[in-house]
Amino acid sequence: MYKWTIRLIIPTSILLSGLVLTQSSFATAEYTKKEKKACTVCHVTSGKKDLNDVGKCYAEHNHSLEGCIK
């Protein structure tokens, strides 16, 4: 019974971890679709959390690019 439990727990935990990571990345995809801009408009590097000046302005202005892009 112990081996069966381990065989179930490991794949399940890997699957759940993948789902959690995937869910956390949807926010940036939603903003990208909403604003019709590339990730690098607000982020220093695509795939990284570091924001540039436009990204900081976007966050401070209730997720609106109005007044953030010149």
User: Is position 46 within any domain?
Assistant: yes
User: Is position 11 within any domain?
Assistant: yes
What is the domain count for the chain? Answer: 1
Identify the domain containing residue 34 by its residue range.
2-60
User: Is position 69 within any domain?
Assistant: no
User: Is position 31 within any domain?
Assistant: yes
pLDDT tens digits in sequence order for the chain, 70 residues long:
577 777 888 888 888 776 665 544 445 678 888 899 988 899 888 778 889 999 999 999 999 999 998 7
User: Is position 67 within any domain?
Assistant: no
The SS3 call for residue 43 is strand
- Write down the number of H helices and E strands in the chain: 2, 0
Prediction pTM value: 0.58
User: Is position 65 within any domain?
Assistant: no
Instruction: Kindly compute the dihedral angle of the four CA atoms of residues 22, 24, 30, 33, in this order, to the nearest 10 degrees.
Output: -50
